[in-house]
């Protein structure tokens, strides 16, 4: 039975490929999700993807993962990275590994982006690798979850 990973994307990530392509690139969110599912499959994992612009929906999805809906989480919290103690609290109730992903290097951007609430819970943080960071996160999560 394969392990399930959950790939969560926060606000505005549904606009990938259209929103500030000079920062986030031309790859769309459906393309990122396909890339994640393919990378997970190669590693013997099942991947579920979820994106929302509504904080409560994100928290509800994390709670569902806590109740047996996933073995590990990859999250790009978007702007909630810098603002949401609520997302952090939800992630703190998840027992499996969590990897935080950012497409851009948040440390080379505006000062308010340098702080992440989520990093306090994350087992790893990948930033500045473009959408390839998601593939790195899938590989790392597979390693953290152990043998199939």
Per-residue pLDDT of the chain (148 residues; tens, 9 = 90+): 689 999 999 999 999 999 888 878 789 999 999 999 999 999 999 999 999 999 999 999 999 999 998 999 999 999 999 889 999 999 999 999 999 999 988 877 777 776 889 999 999 999 999 999 999 999 999 999 997 5
**Domain count within the chain:** 1
Report the alpha-carbon distance of residue 131 to residue 116 in Å, rounded. 19
Domain extent for 110: 3-145
Report the alpha-carbon distance of residue 43 to residue 48 in Å, rounded. 14
pLDDT score for 25 = 77
| Catalytic residue chosen out of the listed positions 63, 102, 107, 115 | 102
| Catalytic residue chosen out of the listed positions 24, 54, 63, 114 | 24
Is 24 noted as a catalytic residue in this protein? yes
Angle subtended by helix axes 132-145 and 29-42, to nearest 10: 30
Report the alpha-carbon distance of residue 129 to residue 98 in Å, rounded. 18
Is 102 noted as a catalytic residue in this protein? yes
Report the CATH number that the domain containing residue 101 is assigned in CATH: 3.40.50.9100
Report the alpha-carbon distance of residue 99 to residue 116 in Å, rounded. 13
Report the alpha-carbon distance of residue 131 to residue 140 in Å, rounded. 15
The model's pTM is 0.94
Report the alpha-carbon distance of residue 117 to residue 18 in Å, rounded. 27
pLDDT score for 148 = 59
């Amino acid at each position: 039975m394969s392990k399930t990973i959950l790939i969560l994307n926060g606000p505005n990530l549904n606009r990938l490929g259209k929103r500030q392509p000079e920062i986030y690139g031309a790859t769309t969110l459906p393309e990122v999700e396909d890339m994640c599912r393919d990378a997970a499959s190669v590693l013997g994992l099942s991947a579920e993807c979820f994106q929302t612009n509504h904080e409560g929906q994100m928290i509800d999805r994390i709670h569902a993962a806590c109740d047996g809906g996933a073995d590990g989480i990859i999250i790009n919290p978007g702007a909630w990275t810098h603002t949401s103690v609520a997302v952090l609290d939800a992630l703190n109730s998840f027992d499996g590994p969590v990897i935080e992903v950012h497409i851009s290097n948040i440390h080379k951007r505006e000062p308010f982006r340098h702080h992440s609430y989520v990093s306090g819970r994350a087992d790893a943080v990948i930033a500045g690798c473009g959408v390839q960071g998601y593939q790195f996160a899938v590989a790392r999560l597979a390693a953290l979850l152990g043998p199939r």
